[in-house]
Amino acid sequence: MLFLLPPSETKRDGGVGGPLDVDALAFPALNGARREAIDALVALSADHAGSMSALGLGPRQAAEVERNRILLTSPTMAAADRYTGVLYDALDAARLDANARAFAHEHVLVHSALFGPVRFEDPIPAYRLSHSSRLPGLPLKKHWRRSVGAVLAEVDGPILDLRSEAYAALGPAPERPGTRYLRVVADEGDGHRRALNHFNKKSKGEFTRAFAEHRPDAQTIDELCDWADSAGFRLLPGSPGGLQLVVSQTLPQRA
């Protein structure tokens, strides 16, 4: 069983690891594409105004360009610790014990727009690049889609895809019986379910954390659903190829 997470726009500074070593990342078949993307991003950082535009940054985010400029010499930390934001705050990787982190390293990937899929503990620097960024001469969807799709297709076992549609477009999960896309919906108590925004990310982080802590031996989607029920989650069939994580939220009533 493999969980496939989106990254976050926001990242922690610093780290205790040495500079980026592309060869230390999972899926070495992606290393050529990684180096191309890294070189393009570092080159772009020499043009401050161009970087601000290409990365969609506002005036208060100017420091993000410097992050990219020093990307090859700045310290690294585990990918799960590098990312912040709603999903990663709920995941709270720093508070997972060693066994949970080891399990997550084997069973959780984060799909970066710069590095492609990386594993939970893979060491990465701080950077700024999202699915919507425009690297000159390197359209991200075209750059990543085929190669990422190929490495994901080689992964054994079921895949639970927690990414947004925008990140899934950078490399689709394989179309096979063991692949499911996770959507978070709110149970409104009247038989209706509503898709969530903010709580979507929070719930995905909490669900991934529980998966790492409990370390279930789930070899199929049905076994994952059984474990989820025992862990206090409602994981139900959704649209074809999808699962719904059903949460209870007090939401504004429909007009």
Virtual torsion, Cα 182, 84, 152, 3, nearest 10 deg:
-40
Return the SS3 of 86. Answer: helix
Query: pLDDT digits over 105-140, tens only?
Result: 999 999 999 999 999 999 999 999 999 999 999 999
Query: pLDDT digits over 196-216, tens only?
Result: 666 799 999 999 999 999 999
Work out the burial of residue 42: count CB atoms within 10 Å of its CB; fewer than 13 is exposed, 13-18 middle, 19 or more buried: middle
Query: pLDDT digits over 211-238, tens only?
Result: 999 999 999 999 999 999 999 999 999 8
Query: pLDDT digits over 50-68, tens only?
Result: 999 999 999 999 999 999 9
Bridge-partner residues for 43, per DSSP? Answer: none
pTM for the complete prediction?
0.92
From residue 60, alpha-carbon distances to 51, 65, 126, 161 in Å are 14, 11, 17, 33
Work out the burial of residue 165: count CB atoms within 10 Å of its CB; fewer than 13 is exposed, 13-18 middle, 19 or more buried: exposed
Find out whether 75 and 3 touch, Cβ atoms under 8 Å: no
Find out whether 105 and 119 touch, Cβ atoms under 8 Å: yes
pLDDT score of 255 more than 50: no
Phi, psi of 23 (to 5 degrees): -70, -10
Query: pLDDT digits over 161-206, tens only?
Result: 999 999 999 999 999 999 999 999 987 665 566 666 667 999 999 9
pLDDT at site 238: 85
